[in-house]
Amino acid sequence: MNGMDAYIEYAISALLVIGGLFGLVGSFGLLKLRDTMQRLHAPTKATTVGVGSALIASMAYFMLIEGKTSWHELLITLFLFLTAPITANFIAKAHMHLAIREEDMPATGVGTDWATYDPEMEVVDPALLEPVQRN
């Protein structure tokens, strides 16, 4: 093993360790933090980054050590980063809907409700009310 390879290995190992740590922290946060909204922070960030590191490590490993092109990890990482905010948004909304009363939330400051609490948001297009007959 030449020097270059050793550095590469150290780098990959470091990525793995960092990734593992973040992953652990994310899941640990899930246990430690007190309420649901707090817990939501842990996995959305720590775990996502943890798995991201592991993925990059993997990509580096295959490309630099095994000599195989491997871009899938990048794709997975991007996908996770793309979806994490949506997931968090939905879980937050679900939690608010189930467990937090509207009165306990700060006002929007613009006179309208927060969307989750706004019961009037039913959108109706009479033209489309005919059954969508498309067998």
Partner 1 sequence: MLKRLFPHPLLSVVLFVTWMLLVNQFKIGSLVMALILSIIIPWMTAAYWPNRPKLKQLPAFAAYCLLVMWDIIVANIQVAKIILFMPANKIQSAWIPVPIELKTPEAITMLAGTITMTPGTVTADMSSCGRVLLIHSLHAPDPDAIRDDIKSRYEARLKRIFE
Partner 2 sequence: MSLALIAALPFLGALLPGLMIRAGKNACALVTGSVTALALLLLGLNAPAVLRGEVIHTRIDWIPSLGLNVNFFLDGLGLLFAGMILGIGLLIILYARFYLSKSDPMGQFYTYLLLFQGAMVGIVLSDNILLLLVFWELTSLSSFLLIGYWKHLPEGRQGARMALTVTGAGGLAMIAGMLILGNIVGSYDLSVILENKEAIQSSDWYLPALILILLGCFTKSAQFPFHFWLPHAMAAPTPVSAYLHSATMVKAGLFLMARMWPVLAGTPEWFYIVATTGLVTMVMAAKIALFKDDLKALLAFSTVSHLGLITMLLGFGTAEAATVAVFHIINHATFKAALFMSAGIVDHETHTRDIKRLGGLRTLMPITFAIATLAALSMAGIPPLNGFLSKEMMLEEAAHVVWGGNRWIMPVLATIGALFSVAYSFRFIAHTFLGPVRDDYPHHPHDPGIGMWAAPAFLVALVILIGLVPMTAAAWLVQVAANAVTGQEVEVYIKHWHGLESPALWMSLLAIGGGFVLLATHARWLAMWNAMPRPEAKPMFDAVISSLSHLATRITDRLHDGAISRYFAIGTVTIAAAAFYAFWTGTHTTGSRPLLPIEAVPFLGWLAMVLATIAIVIFHRNRLLTLVLIGIIGLTISVGFAYFSAPDLALTQISVEVATVILMLLALNFLPKQTPQESSPMRRFSDMAVAGISGFGIAVLAYALMTRDFAFPTIADYHIANSKPEGGGTNIVNVILVDFRGYDTFGEITVLGIAAILIYALTEALLRAGPANDRLLAWAPDQRRAGDRHPMMLVVATRLILPIALMVGVFIFLRGHNMPGGGFIAGLVVSIALVMQYMASGFAWTAARQKVDYHALIAAGVLIAAATGVGAWFNGMPFMTSDFGYVHPPLVEEFELATAAIFDLGVFLTVLGAVMLSLASLSRIALRAGETVNVEPFDIDPSEGRRIANEEAR
Partner 3 sequence: MILDYALTFAFLCFGFGLAMNVYRVFRAPGVPDRILALDTMVVNVIALIVLYGIKTKSGINFEAALLFAMTGFVSTVAYCKFILRGDIIE
Contacts to partner 1 from residues 73-92, by CB under 8 A = 74-75, 81-82, 84-86, 88-89, 92
b/e map 53-64, b = 16+ CB within 10 Å: bbbbbbbbbbee
Cα Rg of the chain (Å, integer): 23
Question: CA 6 → CA 12, 66, 104, 117, distances in Å?
Answer: 10, 14, 56, 56
CB 43 within 8 A of CB 27: yes
Which amino acid, residue 64?
A: L
Contact region with Na ion (CB under 5 A), list: 25-33, 40-48, 61-69, 105-113: 40-48
CB 74 within 8 A of CB 47: no
Binding site for partner 1 (CB under 8 A): 21-22, 25, 28-29, 32-35, 37-38, 40-42, 44-46, 48-49, 68-72, 74-75, 81-82, 84-86, 88-89, 92-93, 96, 105-110, 112-116, 118, 120-121
Binding site for partner 3 (CB under 8 A): 9-10, 12-14, 16-17, 19-21, 23-24, 26-28, 30-31, 36, 39-40, 42-43, 47-48, 50-51, 54-55, 57-58, 61-62, 66, 68, 70, 72-73, 75-76, 79-80, 83, 86-87, 90-91, 93-95, 97-99, 116
